[in-house]
Structure 1
């Protein structure tokens, strides 16, 4: 009799960024993935990272990224390197036949991203970016509400906010504030989530026009620390988002339709790992003499056995397994969503550079 154990996709990780700790845990929790190798720019750093995170002795440790890509047993790589290095290493991984799970922002601009996606297409490997909240079962539940014509109706407006208050060490030393490493700054980091959430609410229809809000905050090197933008769709839907390294921790989405509203206050990282919620209201109005509302929002609680990052690894690994064992084609949904997000990022940058003029999204 054959084993009922799932086939485990063997992951290599390029780099010892802090986010790699979270993803290596996710790989461990995923039923169809295993951590096979870690690569750093020095073997000493790889050894120290493995020891501090309690990796099993079977994990291969390499003193270069190339060594991970040259390991024939590595099926897929997770790349949490600075954004400026994504095009080099994602393309190299694809050309070595490794499936690519790439941390966001995926690229510095859509031209670079197109090179990455083209390499993945040419080599027949799966591409996915690391937007973890997309893989929480709550997201699917919210999607069901937003697409319900009776409970929600046609979309009218979207507001998204993601910020955290960074300390002085972050604002001086983090890679996300250094132009040579992550020149998109807050826009590429927390703004990526805001834009993806806006697209999610709009069923992934691109806005027609993007206009950056005036007075973004930049550091002395010109990297964005705080900014916002308005998004305008052809059907009249309007969205706004604000992203910042300079404000209290906030992760809010508000979506308004003709018949209902949706609110979520922790969309990027749930307040609790195994339980997340969102609230909705349909057909809300006032009581006699407008003294009170006729109802209160309904809270929807969604439980999950796997944290969202492990759900992401599980889904990615399932796609890789389908390609490896069943000869399936890579799933195009994920690079498509990545590219749409990157297009809006580019439009915000262009609007800022052009004195906050409206910029069409193509």
Structure 2
């Protein structure tokens, strides 16, 4: 493995009509997308489209790819008088739940999980970081899992759902937590323990297949990567890139600390801290990953940067992160900007305009 691991990002978007209501033409956008590089995929609901970057080596390369793919997807939607919006949950109220994409697997999911699959459409941002092997990936997960609430609070981008202010910053996280295989990863003693937990969940029916390992950090089943699934889809390509760079920094830092025991944060404490981060976003406080003390979340973001500063310096990303986070401090994260856009005219269509890909 190279000294600095490669990484990539997957982003999910909602397809809407000109008024902002969900459109079921997502599969049509996917089929029309010419893909000499990267990838575009169908998702569970027909109103969703997912893009995946190629393997990237640095922040600017990843930012260029995300900007390029977002623009191309926006263009395909515009040809059909549609728009793609970057938010974790649907903004406007709909008469009926979104229809599922009619593949055999998605049909089975709808039948097996009922309204969990048919309601609560959500869009996330998934970051993949290359790892030496699966056993090392499990050990990295153990070390970085306490920082998941900070990542969630920073990237929260779903305060509205179906015409309502949810009073949360990341309602996507709350909805996604209903899946029986979702939530923070346990603290694993070994790769064997990871696999035994997966086998038990498959046997119980809580998962239909290994693609439904929905932990906030999981081993990828298709790539030699550790996949972070904690975040809402980012409102901008730069915010998605910043998340990916911070995640890679956490992985690199953990790689240098594998000789030490990971922080023994119980899964129920981590789940509670994630709930708090989902509710308050950057406006509140969360438990410090190392001390357990309630700490203002903006201060935790600064401490996260300090924790991974050595790794960010090594990758050449420290300047990018500092500049990006300064912009977030000035303008707010996605949830804060959504609420500000709504407050101006008390109009969710203004929020749709804010979040539309261009």
TM bucket, shorter chain: under 0.3
Higher radius of gyration, 1 or 2: 1
Higher helix share: 2
TM-score between both structures, scaled by the size of structure 2: 0.26
TM-score between both structures, scaled by the size of structure 1: 0.26
Higher strand share: 1
